[in-house]
Amino acid sequence: MAEVMTKGVLLALLAAVLGVGSAAYAEEVGDFVLPSSKAAALENCVEPTEYMRRNHFELIRHQRDETVYGGIRGDSHGLSGCVACHVGYDDSGTPIEIDAEGQFCRSCHAYASVEMNCFDCHATVPRGEAWNHEVAAAHAHLTGSAAARPTAAER
Amino acid sequence: MNHETESMNQGRRDFLGAAAGVSAAAVAPGVFLHTPVANAAPRTDPVTDMHRWGLLVDTSKCADGCTACVDACDSENGLNLQAKPHGQDELKWENQRAVWIRKVKLQDNLTGHVTNLPLMCQHCEHPPCVDVCPTGASFKRADGIVMVDRHTCIGCRYCMMACPYKARSFIHEQVDHKLTRAPRGKGCVESCNLCAHRLDNGDISTACAEACSAEGHQALIFGDLKDPMGPLRKALAKTPSRQIRQDLGLNTGVRYAGI
């Protein structure tokens, strides 16, 4: 009887250790969102977090063809949206390259050991976006649209 | 919209013949087909062949020594962010760096008459660069803009060989600084895309035409070749214009007056 109880306790301990272990594991993966990025203040990404972790590139790749061939640039599934929201800022408010050491894209891709070559060609900080409030205001005279004021976050 | 395309495709002689006879009747049916873009907002549905974007260059207004269009294009499309690779010869770099617009100066040796003009991708209806592309990366968008899908481009440069206008550039080295609206990477070919990012966001303008107007020259008029009431077609109707290498029958979207 005593032997059975000992076995039970051991099993319970093992389960507890495993459980705690997997919880810590999950937390570690989620930690790649930088506190200084806009994304940190949001509950989840453009799709649920779990979905994004596994399928973000499917979304980006689909949006890529929509943009190149169809000219649809405003959709939230584009790479420029990822960069705009997930880019981290240093103390002076300057954006840090998203593929730099310790930054959002790089750190998770390094963790998962997946090569990332988006940023061989694409901008790593939000700079000269095709559309934001600032651009719309600058070109308002061309289209006669009501221009919205630029926000500090858009540059 | 086929009749529109065909009417732009006719030879000069046919055009003059038609103009003498039934010009008024031919223009009217297109009027209600055009839907003007009301406000600047990113588009949500794919581009269609309702529009065909183009330019008219009036070479008589293009000033000698002025590079406003080239400079505006450079900063709009991040071309000014390219850096000369360390140790490369200055002249070689000038020949190799990507440019989307070149200022070309022509002199008639007999009369001495000098013509200045900006030369960029002519956005052909039948683009040779698309014909020769082995991967399908070089393509024509539904609204007539000829572009490169750099995700598919393998950098073979057949398109650069095929283009009669020397409009395309090859990126030889990794580019450190890029704009969000203008990705750029080693091993791909690129050329003028008529500021597609502006059009896709409802701005019916290009950086070059805007800069030319700001300089007061008005040598570049941008607009829709399929909109008979638009600024481009109005200007084309008023001024005799032609295509560069019209003999190739490419039906270019960029037309030149005064050459």
Instruction: Report the distance separating Cα B32 and Cα A118, nearest Å.
Output: 43
Residue B94 has pLDDT above 50, yes or no: yes
* Structural element, H or E, at residue B55: strand B53-58
CB proximity under 8 Å: A 69-108 to B: 69-75, 80, 83
Size of interface A-B (CB pairs under 8 A): 110
Instruction: Report which residue type is found at B17.
Output: G
Residue B2 has pLDDT above 60, yes or no: no
Q: Which domains does chain B have, with CATH numbers?
A: 2-257 (3.30.70.20)
- Model confidence band, residue A20 (pLDDT cutoffs 50, 70, 90): very low
Mean pLDDT of A61-81: 91
* Chain A residues inside the 8 Å CB shell of B200: 71-73, 130
Domain housing A120:
33-127
Domain annotation covers residue A19: no
DSSP state of B85: P
> Mean of the per-residue pLDDT values for chain B?
87
**B180 vs A66: CB contact, 8 Å cut-off?**
no
Domain annotation covers residue A98: yes
Instruction: Report the distance separating Cα A123 and Cα A82, nearest Å.
Output: 11
How much is the pLDDT for B42?
81
Mean pLDDT of A61-88: 91
Backbone dihedral angles phi then psi of residue B221, each to the nearest 5 degrees? -120, 120
Backbone dihedral angles phi then psi of residue B32, each to the nearest 5 degrees? -90, -5
Domain annotation covers residue A22: no
Domain annotation covers residue A54: yes
Domain annotation covers residue A101: yes
Q: Which of B78, B185, B198 sits opposite A128 (nearest CB)?
A: B78
Domain annotation covers residue A86: yes
How far separated are the first and last CA of chain B, in Å rounded?
29
Residue A150 has pLDDT above 80, yes or no: no
Residues 6+ apart with CB under 8 A from A128: B78, B179, B180, B181, B182
How far is residue B143 CA from its own chain's centroid? 12
B257 by DSSP, 3-state: which? strand
Mean pLDDT of B180-209: 94
Q: Which of A73, A80, A143 sits opposite B204 (nearest CB)?
A: A143
Give the sign of the dihedral formed by CA A45, CA A134, CA A71, CA B176: negative
Domain annotation covers residue A80: yes
